[in-house]
Structure 1
Amino acid sequence: MSLSLFLVLGLIVGMAVLLKRLNPSLGNSPDFKVVRSFPLGNRERLMVVELDGKHHLLGVTSQNINYLYQLETPLSDQNTPAFAKELSRFMMPANKKNKTDD
């Protein structure tokens, strides 16, 4: 029974990695990075995105995206939980991992 559990968990992780590699639009790119996301309801959220080194506040709904404000000072990544940092490092493509290890 435990072997089948590990097999299913391994399959889920493997499919997530495969999907991440096949669809590069899922996740952050060097040009566009989601810094923070704060849910306001079921389909509404505030997002802080980084474009050209500046942080911008966006209001996102299921129907549209509204530009709200450009932040004077960028938000720090200090409040990111350690688990989220490790998960993002794990999900990073292999070519980026090699660049950061140097």
Structure 2
Amino acid sequence: MRIYSPRWGLKDLYHFKKTEGGWTFENYRCKGEVDKGGNPLFYKSLITESISYPDHLEVYISNAWENVNTLNKEQVQNIFDELSEWISASENNLH
């Protein structure tokens, strides 16, 4: 995911890789295991960067996790691209 950071004025990269119980999450600041919805590291990273995010984002990330095995890599990437656009749009609308 590429998400706009108002702190730096550019888009930062956030990686999710499916694991048995959730995701391995990584960005330039941290790396670790998160649950199906991205908790806690993904949201801590967004907050640290002063990035606001839409309500219920966790539900959408959990749904992506549930569907990863039935989709191809491009379809999964499209889901995360749409989520990152949603987060960036949400963030840009606040400023």
Larger Rg: 1
Per the TM superposition, whether the score is higher than 0.5 is no
Higher relative contact order (CA 8 A, sep 6+): 2
TM interval, shorter chain, is under 0.3
TM normalised by structure 1 equals: 0.26
TM normalised by structure 2 equals: 0.27
